[in-house]
Structure 1
Amino acid sequence: MPIITLTTDFGLKDHFVGAIKGHIYSELPEATVVDISHQVSPFDIQECAYLLKNAYKAFPDGSIHIVGVDSEKTAENTHLAIKVDQHFFITADNGVISLITEEISPEKVVEIQLPNAISSAFPVLDVFVKVACHLARGGTLEVIGKPFSNIRSIREITPTVTNGGNTILGSVLYIDNYGNVVTNISKNLFEAYRKGRKFTLEARNKKLTEIHKKYSDIINFDLEKSRRKGAGDLMALFNSSGYIELAIYKSNPNTVGGAATLLGLDYRDTVLINFS
């Protein structure tokens, strides 16, 4: 049976996540339900898309992904079930799919029209769960809706290359649980314009001239401990999603702060790379 994943902005304090899981298991006791995240910032489509984009490909083909962010149905925000990249997504038509799949065209899209459906403030429970269980049983998209072609499309800010290829102007894409700052500058873009040259990465008033492959690379183990960089030092690295990330090594964002707070960076703030 396909896996059903949950990505929401519901948090864990309230009953919502538990009720969703209980409803799934009531319909499909043999279901496998996996939480991707319930800590998406409220109504933050871009943050939701970043998390799902970097998670869904790790699941087997045929997995079913319930997207519970900005999910209330309105005249301009209908409910959709989508097959794309061999996965199913159940979501409101709020643009999140255009950010998750970007260059991949959906194979099938239907506007969800369940018989005797009720209009409620909790559509993830009352609509999305029913659709997910239907698909998990092997049901088809055609049974639960009619073809839909006008998916809302939004685009994330993309890096700009200026100054004759000598400057990349990027932005903050995401801030993770550690307070690390993920930029929208990919490793592929960086290497395409670097061409072996030296560079300076600038964020606010900080400058870095090295990008590491992993966090512990900041430590030069050949030096005495008193002379090494380490916990509390600012660094840049290529993260597991292939983007340039700024981090404070082994920093606790709940005590001393992470890179986002210490640098004063937030979503869409500017990060600059100059080649020389």
Structure 2
Amino acid sequence: MPILTLTTDLGQRDYLSGAIKGQFLSLLPTLNIVDITHYLSQTNFPQAAYTCNNSFKHFPPGTFHLVIVNLFESPVDHLLIARHNEQFIICPDNGLLTMITGNKPWELVSFEVGAKNTLLEITQLVAEKVAAIADTGNLLSGGQPVSDIEEKYPLRATLGPNWMEGQILFIDNFENVVINITREEFNEQRNGRKFKIVFKRNEVIETISDNYTSVTESEKLAWFNSAGYLEIALRNGNMAGLFGLQGFNEQMQQTGSASGNKWFYQTVRIFFE
């Protein structure tokens, strides 16, 4: 039974996510459709990449992943399908693919969708391509080989001799804050030294906890979450809201419109001594 995941910025207040599922099931009645999320930000590609990376890797080979983020920012005349880690990723050609995969997949095709098509006209074409690939097992059943695509890559922490600075990747439903620093990157830069995690100018955390119960009620903590990324939180509190922390914003970075304070609150710095 083939599997399709849906990861979008469409929300679920209207009929669209249900209609898309109906399109796929009409062509593949045995398809198992899984919702990853429909609440991605249109302008936060690192958030989308973080969400996709840490969910896709738990699915079996042959899974199809449809990712729709900021689809109509510019006229859409084609979509991409890549085979990556024995799975298929379908998404717009807006840089999102390489944000998810970390490099340009060498098994890659594109297919035309028509610049004036509506969302459901586009997803109907996607459903047809998925049905064709599922039937043949051949990526070329979904489109024509392509090599020239838009490429963007995940944010990396900035490093200095005695510090590292990361951006806020993701703020979860409990307002816990995920930073783009992995356990491996932290340990390598730390090199056994003491450290201070500093945010909002003067807020400091000096220990890494095992989990949320390692601290008392309403106390700040830092730990490495199940995806291996640094996370700062308040036990039973809303870290992001209380301290004014905000996620990375693609448009804000491109336009340079962020104020000094606002930009600072999208970053977390670690000092080593």
Q: Same fold (TM over 0.5)?
A: yes
Question: How far apart are the structure 1 equivalents of 2:74 and 2:245?
Answer: 34
Paired position in structure 2 for 1:119: 117
Instruction: Tell me if the contact between 1:71 and 1:124 (Cα under 8 Å) persists in the aligned partners.
Output: no
Question: How far apart are the structure 2 equivalents of 1:266 and 1:82?
Answer: 32
Paired position in structure 1 for 2:88: 88
Counterparts in 2 of 1:142-181, with a 5 A limit?
Answer: 142-162=140-160, 165-181=161-177
Q: Calculate the aligned-residue CA RMSD, in Å.
A: 2.2
Paired position in structure 1 for 2:220: 234
1:117–1:209 Cα change, 3 Å: closer
1:178 shift after superposition: 1.2
Paired position in structure 2 for 1:246: 232
TM-score by length of 1: 0.85
1:259 aligns with 2:259: no
User: Which residue type is aligned with residue 38 of structure 2?
Assistant: H
Residue ranges of structure 2 left out of the alignment (5+ in a row): 249-265
TM-score by length of 2: 0.86
1:142 shift after superposition: 1.6
1:97–1:123 Cα change, 3 Å: farther
Question: How far apart are the structure 2 equivalents of 1:38 and 1:17?
Answer: 8
1:57-92 C-alpha deviation (Å, 9 max, x unpaired): 000011100112123495576311111111101111
1:112-154 C-alpha deviation (Å, 9 max, x unpaired): 147x998224355222222222223334222332111012111
The answer to which of 152-161 and 123-132 deviates more is 123-132
- Which of 193, 196, 206 aligns to 1:197? It is 193
Instruction: Tell me if the contact between 1:211 and 1:236 (Cα under 8 Å) persists in the aligned partners.
Output: yes
Greater C-alpha Rg = 1
Instruction: Tell me if the contact between 2:129 and 2:141 (Cα under 8 Å) persists in the aligned partners.
Output: no
1:224-262 C-alpha deviation (Å, 9 max, x unpaired): xxxxx12x22211101111111111123xxxxxx11111
Question: How far apart are the structure 1 equivalents of 2:87 and 2:174?
Answer: 30
Instruction: Tell me if the contact between 1:95 and 1:152 (Cα under 8 Å) persists in the aligned partners.
Output: yes
1:157 shift after superposition: 2.7
1:212–1:138 Cα change, 3 Å: farther
Instruction: Tell me if the contact between 1:9 and 1:43 (Cα under 8 Å) persists in the aligned partners.
Output: no
User: Which residue type is aligned with residue 200 of structure 1?
Assistant: K
1:52 aligns with 2:39: no
Quote the sequence identity (%).
35
Residue ranges of structure 1 left out of the alignment (5+ in a row): 219-228, 252-257
1:89–1:50 Cα change, 3 Å: same
Paired position in structure 1 for 2:109: 110
